[in-house]
């Protein structure tokens, strides 16, 4: 098990290294190309992430009018209250959604009252975002490596699963970054903190995949580990 773990951690760290030094830049070029072709002209900038140089885009955040934000706030609070008083959706999900809505409401209040104090521009924000996302991916892969190492399954298969997960995360990270770019530049600045604070939700992808792997294993070895 410990050998498996060492290999998985090495693969995880190695993949993140390639992500930072190679894959990310190429993906950014591609996003740039697609955005340009769609009529969105944005400049590429270089950021210093964990002492490596990574690319991002120089955009300006889309600040909405205070009255719009106020209406959205009313809507958010209304939705929160509705969820609390309805009986159809189970309480655990109500709390979960309300938590997200609460975060949104806090951000809305901030941007209604103190938009001028907002300390981030695109460079600073993407520096923060990429630091967080790269750190998050590395930690996710390492946690996944630990749980995968525990799983009674062949090393080759586990390695294949880990590689698959890493690849999926990489692609997903670019899609998420593109979505963030569009949201903060085209829709609202409120998504700036929201897209940052919801990064950790993405860990659920690891759990989905891990549980499915173990489920597949039970079909094969039913009863073997029982007791």
Partner 1 sequence: MDNLILIGQAYQIFLLVFMSIYMIQHFIFTYSRLYGEQRNYYHDILDTEMPTVSVVIPMHNEELVAENVLERLVLSDYPKEKMEIIPINDHSTDRTKDIIDTFARKHPGVKPFHRLKEDEKRGKAEGLNDVMKFTKGDIIVVFDADYQPAKEAIKSLVMGFKDPQVGAVMGRVLVQNSDSNLLTLLLDMERSAGYQISQQARYNMDLIPQYGGTVGAYRKSVVRQMGGFDPKVLAEDTDLTYKMYLNGWKIAYANKTECYEQMPETWAARARQVRRWSRGHNEVLFHHLPSIFTSKYFTLREKWDGLLLLFVYMMPILLMVGIADSIFLFFMDAISIVTSMSALLLIMAINAFGNFAPFFQITIANYLDGRTESLKLTPMFAFNFVLYIFYTSRGFIDALIDLATRRDVDWDKTKRHQRKNNAK
Partner 2 sequence: MPSNPTFLMAGVFGLFFLMLFLPAIPMIQAIRNRKDVEPLGMDMDFVFNPRFQAIHFENLLKNAARDFNVIPLEERLDTSMVPMLSRKPLLFRTKGDITVDGTIDSKAILDAGGAIKFHPNARIHALKSKEHISIGEESMVDLWIDSGAEVIVHKNARTNLITAKTVKLYKGSSFKRIFAGTIGFYPLNKEGENKIGEDIVHTKESLNVEAQALYLDKNETIKADSSIHSDVIGRGDLRIEKGCSIYGSLKANGNLEIENNVHIYGNIFCDHDITIKHHCFVFGNIFSHTYIRIGHNTQIGKYAAPKSIIGIKGIEIAGGTFVHNYILTYGEGRVV
**Which of 185, 170, 191, 175 is closest to 39 using CA atoms?**
185
Question: Which residues in the 151-190 window bind partner 2 by CB under 8 A?
Answer: 168, 171-172, 175-176, 178-179, 182, 186
**Which of 136, 214, 166, 154 is closest to 3 using CA atoms?**
154
Q: Is 208 exposed, middle or buried (0-12, 13-18, 19+ CB in 10 A)?
A: exposed
Stretch that binds partner 2, among 66-74, 99-107, 109-117, 211-219 (CB under 8 A): 211-219
Residue 175 touches which of partner 2, partner 1, none (CB < 5 to 8 A by kind)?
partner 2
Q: What 3 state SS string does 44-109 have?
A: EEEEEECCEEEEEEECCCCCCCHHHHHHHHHHHHHHHHHHHHCCCCCHHHHHHHHHHHHHHHHHHH
Residue ranges in contact with partner 1 by CB under 8 A = 1, 90-93, 95-96, 98-99, 103, 106, 110, 117-120, 124, 127-128, 131-136, 138-140, 143, 146-147, 150-152, 193, 196-197, 199-200, 203-204, 207-208, 210-212, 214-215, 217-219, 222-223, 225-227
Q: Cβ closer to partner 1: 153 or 185?
A: 153
Which residue ranges make up the site for partner 2 (CB under 8 A)? 34-35, 37-40, 168, 171-172, 175-176, 178-179, 182, 186, 202, 204-205, 208-209, 211-212, 215
């Amino acid at each position: 098990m410990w050998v498996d773990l060492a290999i998985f951690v090495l693969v995880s760290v190695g993949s993140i290294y390639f992500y930072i030094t190679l894959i990310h830049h190429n993906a950014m070029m591609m996003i740039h190309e697609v955005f340009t072709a769609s009529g969105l002209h944005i400049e590429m900038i270089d950021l210093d992430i964990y002492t490596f140089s990574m690319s991002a885009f120089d955009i300006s955040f889309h600040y909405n009018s205070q009255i719009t934000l106020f209406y959205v706030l009313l809507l958010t609070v209304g939705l929160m209250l509705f969820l609390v008083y309805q009986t159809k959706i189970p309480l655990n999900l109500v709390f979960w959604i309300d938590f997200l809505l609460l975060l949104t409401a806090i951000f809305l209040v901030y941007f209604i009252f103190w938009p001028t104090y907002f300390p981030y521009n695109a460079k600073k924000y993407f520096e923060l975002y990429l630091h967080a996302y790269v750190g998050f991916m590395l930690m996710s892969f390492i946690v996944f490596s630990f749980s995968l190492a525990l799983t009674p399954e062949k090393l080759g298969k586990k390695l294949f699963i880990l590689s698959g997960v890493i690849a999926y995360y990489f692609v997903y990270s670019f899609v998420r970054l593109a979505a963030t770019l569009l949201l903060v530049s085209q829709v609202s600045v409120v998504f700036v903190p929201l897209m940052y604070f919801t990064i950790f939700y993405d860990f659920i992808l690891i759990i989905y995949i891990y549980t499915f792997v173990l489920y597949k294993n039970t079909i094969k070895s039913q009863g073997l580990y029982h007791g």
